[in-house]
C-alpha cells in the first residue's frame, strides 16, 4: 500500500502533530509499541523483557531538535537511562539518533554530546549503537562514526539495505558491531532501491556478507520470518556460532515469534523506544509494513469486528485522530 505508506511518512514528519502529541501522552494504541514516557516506566518494561530471556536496546525518542537546549535535555535523558540500567543490573544497550543530540544544529556540538554518552556508557560496560537516519544525514553520520571509532570500542552503527551504498559500508565496517535493517525512510530512487523485492534481496546479501567476511557482531533487525528463517539456514550451513549474531524486533510486535526464537536458543533483542516524542516513531512503524497496522489493532482490542478491519480503515482512524488533535 504505497499511498498509505507515504501518508504515514508525511505524518511522521509533521512538526505540528509531533509537538501536539507530546502534551497528551500515548494515544492511538502507541502504548502497545512504546515502552513508556519516563525512564522509571521503561525500566519496568526492560525488567519484564529480561525476565523472558531477551535483551533490550533502548531508544530515547526525539525528533525536530533545532535548539541546543533541547539537544542537551535529550542527551541527559539518554544518560539517565544508561545509569538506571546500570544501577538495576539490566541486560540492555543504547540506540542513539544523532539528530536528537544536535547533528542538524552543529556537528562539533553533536560530536561532543556523542563522546559524553559513549564515556558514560563505557563506564557502565554498555554498547551504544548510532542509528542511521534519512539520507540527508548520511554523510555527517558516517563522518562522526569514523571519528568516535578511533576513540571508543563500545560503539557501532546501522546499515540500511535499501541504500545503494550499503554493501560498501558493510565491507568497510566488517569488523564492527552492526545492526542491519531494511530502512524506514522514503528515499529518492537515485540513492535507494524502491521495490520491496530488491530491498529484501539486498538485505539478505548484507546479512550474509557481515556474518562471513568480518569479525563484527551482527544484529539482524527485522520482523520478516522468511528472512529470519533463511538466515538461520545459512548460519547452520556455515557453522556460525550463536554468539556472533542476534535477532532484533520492535517492542510490541511478533511477541510469540520472539519467544520462539529464544526457545530455539537464539539471542533475541527487543528494541524498546521511550519518551515524550513517540508520535513520529509510531507513524513510521505504521508506514513500514501494512502488517504492523493489524498488529497494533490486535494489541489495542480483542473485538474481532475491529480486528478484521482493513489497514486503510486503521489509517483513516489515525488521520481523523490527528485532525481532532489539531482542532484542540
Summarised one tens digit per residue, pLDDT across range 93-115 is 999 999 999 999 999 999 999 99
Instruction: Identify whether 179 is a catalytic site residue.
Output: yes
Q: Indicate whether 316 pLDDT > 80.
A: no
- Name 56's Cβ contacts closer than 8 Å, sequence gap at least 6: 46, 49, 50, 90, 91, 92, 93, 269, 270, 271, 272
Q: How much is the mean pLDDT over the chain?
A: 85
Helices (H), 238-289: 255-263, 279-288
From 5, 45, 59, 131, the catalytic residue: 131
Q: Indicate whether 235 pLDDT > 80.
A: yes
Confidence of residue 4 (pLDDT cuts 50, 70, 90): low
Confidence of residue 323 (pLDDT cuts 50, 70, 90): very low
Model's pTM, two decimal places? 0.83
Q: Indicate whether 91 pLDDT > 90.
A: yes
- pLDDT of 275 reads 85
Instruction: Identify whether 131 is a catalytic site residue.
Output: yes
Confidence of residue 62 (pLDDT cuts 50, 70, 90): confident
From 5, 179, 254, 285, the catalytic residue: 179
Confidence of residue 34 (pLDDT cuts 50, 70, 90): confident
Return phi, psi of residue 154, to 5°: -110, 35
Q: What is the pLDDT of residues 120-157, one digit of tens each?
A: 999 999 999 999 999 999 999 999 999 999 999 999 99
How far, CA to CA in Å, does 160 sit from each of 137, 157, 202?
Answer: 13, 10, 9
Q: Indicate whether 39 pLDDT > 50.
A: yes
Amino acid at each position: 500500500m504505497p499511498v498509505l505508506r507515504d501518508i504515514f511518512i508525511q505524518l511522521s514528519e509533521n512538526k505540528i502533530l509531533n509537538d501536539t502529541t507530546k502534551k497528551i501522552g500515548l494515544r492511538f494504541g502507541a502504548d502497545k509499541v512504546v515502552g513508556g514516557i519516563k525512564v522509571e516506566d521503561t525500566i519496568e518494561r526492560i525488567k519484564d523483557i529480561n525476565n523472558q530471556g531477551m535483551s533490550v536496546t533502548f531508544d530515547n525518542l526525539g525528533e525536530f531538535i533545532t535548539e541546543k537546549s533541547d539537544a542537551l535535555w535529550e542527551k541527559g535523558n539518554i544518560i539517565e537511562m544508561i545509569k538506571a540500567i546500570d544501577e538495576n543490573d539490566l541486560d540492555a544497550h543504547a540506540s542513539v539518533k544523532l539528530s536528537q543530540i544536535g547533528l542538524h544544529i552543529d556537528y562539533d556540538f553533536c560530536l561532543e554530546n556523542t563522546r559524553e554518552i559513549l564515556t558514560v556508557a563505557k563506564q557502565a560496560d554498555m554498547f551504544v549503537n548510532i542509528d542511521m537516519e534519512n539520507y540527508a544525514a548520511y554523510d555527517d553520520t558516517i563522518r562522526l562514526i569514523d571519528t568516535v571509532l578511533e576513540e571508543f570500542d563500545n560503539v557501532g552503527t546501522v546499515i540500511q539495505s535499501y541504500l545503494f551504498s550499503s554493501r560498501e559500508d558493510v565491507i568497510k565496517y566488517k569488523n564492527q558491531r552492526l545492526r542491519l535493517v531494511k530502512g524506514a525512510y522514503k528515499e529518492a530512487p537515485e540513492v535507494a532501491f524502491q521495490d520491496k523485492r530488491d530491498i529484501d534481496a539486498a538485505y539478505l546479501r548484507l546479512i550474509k556478507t557481515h556474518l562471513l567476511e568480518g569479525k563484527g557482531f551482527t544484529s539482524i533487525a527485522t520482523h520478516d520470518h522468511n528472512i529470519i528463517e533463511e538466515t538461520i539456514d545459512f548460519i547452520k550451513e556455515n557453522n556460525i556460532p550463536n554468539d556472533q549474531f542476534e535477532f532484533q524486533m520492535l517492542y510490541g510486535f511478533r511477541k510469540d515469534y520472539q519467544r520462539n526464537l529464544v526457545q530455539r536458543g537464539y539471542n533475541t533483542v527487543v528494541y524498546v523506544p521511550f519518551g515524550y516524542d513517540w508520535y513520529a516513531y509510531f507513524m513510521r512503524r505504521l508506514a513500514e509494513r501494512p502488517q504492523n497496522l493489524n498488529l497494533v489493532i490486535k494489541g489495542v482490542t480483542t473485538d474481532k469486528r475491529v480486528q478484521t478491519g482493513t489497514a486503510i480503515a486503521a489509517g483513516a482512524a489515525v488521520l481523523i485522530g490527528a485532525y481532532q488533535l489539531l482542532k484542540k
